[in-house]
A and B are shown apart, each in its own frame.
Chain A
Amino acid sequence: MKNVPKKSTPALIATWGAQLVAAGILGYAGYLKLADHQADIELFTQLGMEPAGRYIIGGLELLAATLMLIPQSAVYGAILGLGVMLGAIIGHLTALGIDVKLLFALLVAALCVVVIVIRRFDAEFLRNLWDHYRYDVE
């Protein structure tokens, strides 16, 4: 895409760090859901979404993890990951109760926000969210 400002080295390190950690957590969580992990079956039974919801969410988590590992699609992976994590946070706050999984959801959501902010110029609809010209007026 044209006119994409170069990311600074610290920004690149930060976004790739966030992408790798988030993709790792999302990928592992998605794998457990699709592999019929007992705790997840109980969790989704509690939400009334067993088994279709578990497969859909697990699939979305794996998709987000994959997208986030590819530079061109990382920002879309982060948006998807943030969406799934918002759902998880809502689930924990309204139905499941507060536990260590909520902390992981908050962590991944925060990492996704980091990726979105650093990579905001990679998607046309995101770059309009912020101002990005500097006016050099004396």
Chain B
Amino acid sequence: MSTAKVDLHKLARITNFMIASSTGAFFFAGYFLSFWFHFGTVFFLMLTVANFFYRHVQTQHTILRNFGVIGQMRYVLESVGPELRQYLFSTDTEERPFNRVERAEVYRKAKGIEGAQSFGSQYNYDENEIKLRHAMFPTDHADLEPYRLTFGEERGLAQAYTIDKPIVISAMSFGSLGSQAVRTLSRGARLAGIPMNTGEGGYPKYHLQEGADLIFQMGTAKFGVRNDDGSLNDDKLTALAAHEQIKMVEIKFSQGAKPGKGGLLPKEKITTEISELRGVPMGQDVVSPPYHVECRNLVSTVKFIRRVQEVAGVPVGIKLCVGRPSEVGELFEEMKRQEVFPDYISIDGGEGGTGAAPKAYLDGVGMPLLPALKSVGDMMVEMGVRDRMKLLAAGKLVTPGRQVGAMCLGADAVYTARGFMLAIGCIQALQCGNNTCPVGITTHDPSLQRGLVIEDKAYRIANYVKGSVKDIEHILCSMGVRRVRELTFDHLYVPHDSILSVQGDAE
């Protein structure tokens, strides 16, 4: 190439020579001209020593070994790269997991700002994305049936639990979130009139504090209700489920962030309080077992569901991320055989949620939500178990379009965790596992939590729910239906090369 080109190797050699020789030059200037020059002598002397260490002592960083201090620039720039990309260089639709358009929509709803926008979609509208089909003759809003979903009605439970909004705060434990964030979400859930899942964090001390309805999640380690060998302690569960705020219990079999692997809480985030609430030691990662000790096959799994239902008394759901739809089918078969059905089943997409997980699991394990949900939803109808339990869905369901899309695939209600994190101020800094969350949500550091003001942010939850419900209702009207359960797969426009038209599972 004939254009001017910076030879970085040569530049580094010149720099390294200049640093060393500057020391000498300043020394002579300091000696012969003025002692003031010795400020330069000291500066360059220390830089020379550091450079010597970079170049000749350390062996781990190739760039520093070859280029010296000027190579440090690479690490400095790389460390600010994510911020620069987010602030300056990424377009509005290309960031992951949530792009700026999606985040902005949640933020606007959370702040109660109307969402009308002009001049067209920012997406490539005709690309292979799934769209909702509107009807020629929309429903009158007054004809819309009020949303009601009663868990446990199939079993005629005295303690059946009814929700009147199709959105639920998904599982986030105290531990993964700081106490301030848990209280914000809990107070927001109460203001919004929706329940909140506790996550598998043991006794839900902070979740209970603000008075929200709770779904107690029992993870594979059963924090809060375990015996020492990791099996279920019936008495503890009975006592916990008797609490009036705890409306349902959820047995977590697997989770979208790390399907087939137990929960993970990095040691950076384990405080004295968390180690007490969970009954775990400090200073090491807490890794839940990958399965419930009671559940080693279909028969024992369904028996365990029945046992939890009997012990808890409240509606009991199960949550899993689908690996093989046929396995879920076999589970339904066994449920039918034993005449035992959970009160709901929640399908978690493999997209990876709030939780900390090995990167290989975030990126590569588990079926994505939409095909998984379609498989399970279709199977429930085919096997005649659709009216025996409710179906919930989770997996990046933060915007109304996608939420209604999930309902078309069979979901009765949607779970979202990250939507609510965005609503209370998450900026997608991706620091969740490091205890350094800059907006005080996934950290236990009081100096970072102080920015998260419960009084203010709890209302963002209420606003977000209100705005989302309003959009969902309007979309239902436009699609010409009167209630969520009238939605079917035919209400979706599915391009021929979409993830849903190619039947995802060739078993």
Contact = CB atoms under 8 A, between A and B. Distances in A.
B54 interface: yes
A86 B50 contact: no
B501 to A, nearest CB: 44
B72 A87 contact: no
A48 to B, nearest CB: 6
Contacts of A87: 38-39, 41-42
Interface stretch (B59-67, B100-108, B405-413, B484-492): B59-67
B35 A128 contact: no
A24 interface: no
Contacts of B139: none
Contacts of A90: 27, 30, 38, 41-42
A13 interface: no
B77 interface: no
B35 A53 contact: yes
Contacts of B436: 2
Interface in B433-447: 434-436
A82 B46 contact: yes
A79 B42 CA distance: 11
Interface string B48-75: 0010011001111100100000001001
A130 B35 contact: no
A136 interface: no
Contact of A2 (B41, B42, B268): B268
B58 A130 contact: yes
B72 A125 contact: yes
What interface size band does chain A fall in? 20 to 34
A10 B36 CA distance: 40
Contacts, number: 57
Contacts of B64: 128
A99 interface: no
B493 interface: no
B43 interface: yes
A47 interface: yes
Interface string B11-44: 0000000000000000100110011101101110
How big is chain B's contact interface, by range? Answer: 20 to 34
A75 to B, nearest CB: 13
A95 B33 CA distance: 12
Secondary structure call for the B interface: helix
B61 A2 contact: no
Nearest to A82: B46
SS class of chain A's interface: helix, strand, loop or mixed? helix
Nearest to A44: B35
B57 A130 contact: yes
A49 B36 contact: yes
Contacts of A94: 30-31
Nearest to B64: A128
B452 interface: no
B462 interface: no
B38 A48 contact: no
Contacts of A86: 41-42, 45-46
A59 interface: no
Nearest to B75: A128
Interface string A59-96: 00000000000000000000100111011001100110
Contacts of A95: 35
A100 interface: no
A138 interface: no
Contacts of B75: 128
A131 B60 contact: yes
A80 to B, nearest CB: 10
Interface string A126-138: 0011111100000
Contact of B57 (A49, A53, A129, A133): A129
A129 B53 contact: yes
Contacts of A132: 60
A83 B42 contact: yes
Contacts of B50: 125, 129
A90 B34 CA distance: 13
B58 A128 contact: yes
A130 B54 CA distance: 8
A36 to B, nearest CB: 19
Given A83-B46, A125-B50, 13 more contacts: A2-B434, A53-B35, A86-B42, A87-B38, A87-B39, A87-B42, A90-B42, A91-B38, A128-B60, A128-B75, A129-B58, A130-B57, A131-B58
Interface of B: 27, 30-31, 34-36, 38-39, 41-43, 45-46, 50, 53-54, 57-61, 64, 72, 75, 268, 434-436
* 9 closest residue pairs by CB, A with B: A129-B53, A47-B35, A86-B42, A83-B42, A87-B42, A2-B434, A90-B38, A131-B60, A87-B38
25 contacts: A2-B268, A2-B435, A48-B34, A48-B35, A49-B35, A49-B36, A79-B46, A86-B42, A86-B46, A87-B39, A90-B27, A90-B30, A90-B41, A90-B42, A94-B31, A125-B50, A125-B72, A128-B58, A128-B60, A128-B61, A129-B50, A129-B57, A130-B53, A130-B57, A131-B60
